[in-house]
Structure 1
Amino acid sequence: MKKNILLVLALFVIMVSCKKKFDDLPIVVTPPVLPPVITTQKIKDLTTTFKFGAAVKTANLKSESAYDNTFKGEYNQLSAEFEMKMNFIWNSETSYNFTNVDYLVNYAQQNNMTVHGHTLLWYQSFPDWFKNANYDSVAFESKVKVYIETVVGRYKGKIKSWDVANEIFNDDGTMRIESQIQGKFKDPIGFVGRCFKYAAIADPDAKLFYNDYNVVLAAGKRTAMKNMAIRFKNAGIPIHGLGEQFHYRISTSQTQINSGFADLVSSGLLIHLSEIDCKVNTTNSPTYVVNSTDLQKQSDFFKNIVKLYNAIPGNQKFAMTTWGITDKNTWLRDSGNGNKEYPLLFDENYGKKPAYVGFLDGLK
């Protein structure tokens, strides 16, 4: 009898210990297997009045056949996700690394794509050597001028359009304080305008854009962009278009998008929806599980913005560009939530998502 009691107690201790160990393990949530989307239509075949682009990485094109095949099979315009930014090209005052840019430009030519250059001037992409040189405004502009002339000139006729400047405004329309040009110049907008001129001289046929995020929601930023464009036009400075990155989420107000987009279009310039993605994990939850309801909301988001874009005057249509191809390697998965974001048109296995169908529906 005593042995039996001891045996029961031992079993109880083991069970409690095991339960504690299991309780301490992280909960692994497996996303549901959702039915594949079947469609033989391709977006690029229906976007006859504007280009359908994606931001890509050289390493993915070279190393993954599914990435390569999806891109060249589904898109007709190329943007570099990061390899055309200044810090990836400008190694020193007289040293440039064009290896990856050359590859991307040649790839586009071989696959009958146009190339949009992103970006010549961005506060986060000034190389460390350049920032540490602490140039005064005259030397600063002289170096930037040579850089723009060198890069745009090298790809004259091959890169058809450029984001000359990127993200120089806060949402309220003031200049970004972290920008290298803020504080360097008494008239920072004047400096930006001269950079547009340098690009135009290097390639007179290139379309030149200013690009920023949150444009349709931030009235102050939108007004600053339009006012800058008006100033440039009045001064004879070539500016052809405005880019709205369109990093939004399924919960973003469609009413606000509609209103802000109409105001942006009133600029009369080319409009580029330049870095489109749509977050479904709207609370940035580490335990989020993708589901059919949110994917349908994402599909509706794409349908609505495509309808908006497709309805603008033909002479203002330029391109719609997704920031990436597949959910597997979206930049948003580096933002702290692991694999808990699914913002693009293709899933991890390059299957077409409901968002792809939403995009198609918006074109009809």
Structure 2
Amino acid sequence: MYAKTVLAVLLGSGLVSAQLNTLAVRAGLKYFGTAVDERRTTTDAAYMAIVNNTAEFGSLVPENGQKWAYTEPTQNTFSYTSGDVIPNIAKANGQILRCHTLTWHSQLPNWVSSGSWTAATLTAVINTHISNVLKHYLGQCYAWDVVNEAAADDGSWRTSVFYTVLGTDYLPISFRAARAADPNAKLYYNDYNLEYNGAKTDRVYEAVTIVQNAGAPIDGVGFQGHLIVGSTPGRSALATALRRFTALNLEVAYTELDIRHSSLPASSAALVTQGNDYANVVGSCLDVAGCVGVTIWGFTDKYSWIPETFSGAVSLRLHEVE
């Protein structure tokens, strides 16, 4: 709970019982939110009591249900059974909904990733998918992560079916399709490791300017914030990275924040460092005009993606859910 205590102090309260969304909004942010695992919404009452606490979380994002593999598993056959779970909860609670995600190289159905496409046919596939999904959620989403992770870790363009067939043209194609389907949602580019302001950040800056120079609409950049305890940049450096994109007249947000330990068990010193790292991330958002909010990628290790992906790693325990 140390990390939550540090965040509460940063946001103006010394009480560990303080509610993070209430404090974040009071400090000037639009929301403090969390991703929600659709699978747990009907099986874990303790988990859902926290999800439904609007003083704690003012926004929700579906962890998986709106991804292409779920929404269009076969061509031109759309399914929203999983995708509707979190939007329905957010609507019932009066929480902001961030919607996630559209054009992404991962969690694609095989018919997309292994299809034999021309530029024209893949463009039509993108347009059809985005149009159907956004019209289904029309009026519900504060923001959409339109393009996700187009840059590789080394700063090159990520290899994907979209890049292989269309080059960088798929970026403005996706954003144009999103705006045509939903005139009001904020349209985001979303990626990780932007916080380090290196070659990957440079490539994402280029991606954003490609969209803008093509005359396509883009409203924001999401800094995913999948970080490591002790290796997280300081508050000032983080703010500098955010400002690169607000200088392009875009809003920014932390969209998938978690800060993992590289080994377990974590020492007491490592827990203190983790809390301070979280405070630096949230503090950088407070420092930057145009940083609208913070979303954590889950609030309990019980359902975190991290232990399945990084051996010996664990994320923030804002709450213990046994």
Question: The TM-score by the shorter chain falls in which range?
Answer: 0.7 to 0.9
May I ask how many residue pairs the two structures share in their alignment? 305
Work out whether residues 127 and 177 of structure 2, in 8 Å CA contact, stay in contact via their aligned partners in 1: yes
1:183 to 154, 164, 172: 164
Deviation at 1:264, TM superposition (A): 4.2
Kindly indicate whether residue 277 of structure 2 is the aligned counterpart of residue 298 of structure 1: no
* 1:231-310 pair list within 5 angstroms: 231-255=210-234, 257=238, 259-280=240-261, 282=262, 284=263, 288-310=264-286
* Shift of residue 320, structure 1, vs aligned partner: 0.5
Distance in 1 between the 2:193 and 2:233 partners?
Answer: 13
- Taking the aligned partners of 1:57 and 1:349, their CA distance within structure 2 comes to 14
Partner of 1:63: 43
1:45 equivalent in alignment to 2:19:
no
CA distance in 1, matches of 2:171, 2:310: 34
Match of 1:322 in 2: 296
Unaligned runs of 5+ in 2: 6-14
Question: Does the 8 Å CA contact 2:146/2:187 hold for their aligned counterparts?
Answer: yes
Moved over 4 A (4+): none
Q: Work out whether residues 241 and 271 of structure 1, in 8 Å CA contact, stay in contact via their aligned partners in 2.
A: yes
2:308 counterpart letter in structure 1: D
State the secondary structure of the residue aligned to 1:63.
Answer: coil
CA distance in 2, matches of 1:254, 1:326: 23
Q: Which amino acid aligns with 1:324?
A: G
Query: Is the partner of 1:117 in helix, strand or coil?
Result: strand
Distance in 2, Cα, partners of 1:160 & 1:266: 22
CA distance in 1, matches of 2:215, 2:118: 27
Q: Paired residue for 1:19?
A: none
Checking the alignment, whether the CA contact within 8 Å between 1:226 and 1:267 is kept in structure 2 is: no
Give the Cα separation in 2 of the matches to 1:236 and 1:132: 30
Aligned-pair identity (%): 25
Which one has the largest radius of gyration? 1
Provide Cα deviations, 1:290-313, integer angstroms capped at 9, x if missing partner: 332211111111111111110111
Aligned partners of 1:202 and 1:94: how far apart in 2?
Answer: 16
- The answer on whether the counterparts of 1:171 and 1:218 sit within 8 Å (CA) in structure 2 is no
Question: Which shifted more, 340-349 or 56-65?
Answer: 340-349
Give deviations 1:61-103, integer Å, cap 9, x for gaps.
2110111011121211111111111011112112111012222
Instruction: Give me the TM-score of the superposition, normalised by structure 2.
Output: 0.88
Q: 1:93 aligns with which of 75, 96, 108?
A: 75
